[in-house]
Amino acid sequence: MKNVNAIVGTYDDKNGLTHGFVYNSSTNTWLSVDDPNGIGMTVVNGTNDHHDLVGFWGASPTNTGFVATLP
C-alpha cells in the first residue's frame, strides 16, 4: 500500500488525552497510536510508503521523537 491512502494525525479523547491515529481511506479503517512511553500524549506527524510513522510524545518543553513501523 502506498501512503496515498493513509492519513495521519492526532485526536483528543473524552478524558483530554492526546493520541495519534492512522486512517486508511481505501479500507475505511483507523488505528489509534500511542508510543508505549507516552500513552495519552502522543502526536503522529507523518508516514511514508514503508508504513513508517514519525511523531513525538511528551509535554512541552520536553518532547521525545519516535519512528514506528505499522504491522
What are the φ/ψ torsions at residue 3 (nearest 5 degrees)? Answer: -75, 0
Specify whether the CB–CB gap between 12 and 28 falls below 8 A.
no
Residue range 19-70, pLDDT digits in tens? 999 998 889 999 999 999 999 999 999 998 888 999 999 988 899 999 998 7
Q: What is the pLDDT of residue 5?
A: 81
Q: What is the pTM of this model?
A: 0.85
Q: What are the residues whose beta carbons fall under 8 Å from the beta carbon of 34, sequence distance 6 or more?
A: 19, 20, 40, 42, 57
Structural domain for 12, as ranges: 3-69
Total number of domains constituting the chain: 1
Q: What is the pLDDT of residue 1?
A: 47
Sign of the dihedral through C-alpha 39, 41, 47, 52: negative
Q: What is the pLDDT of residue 39?
A: 95
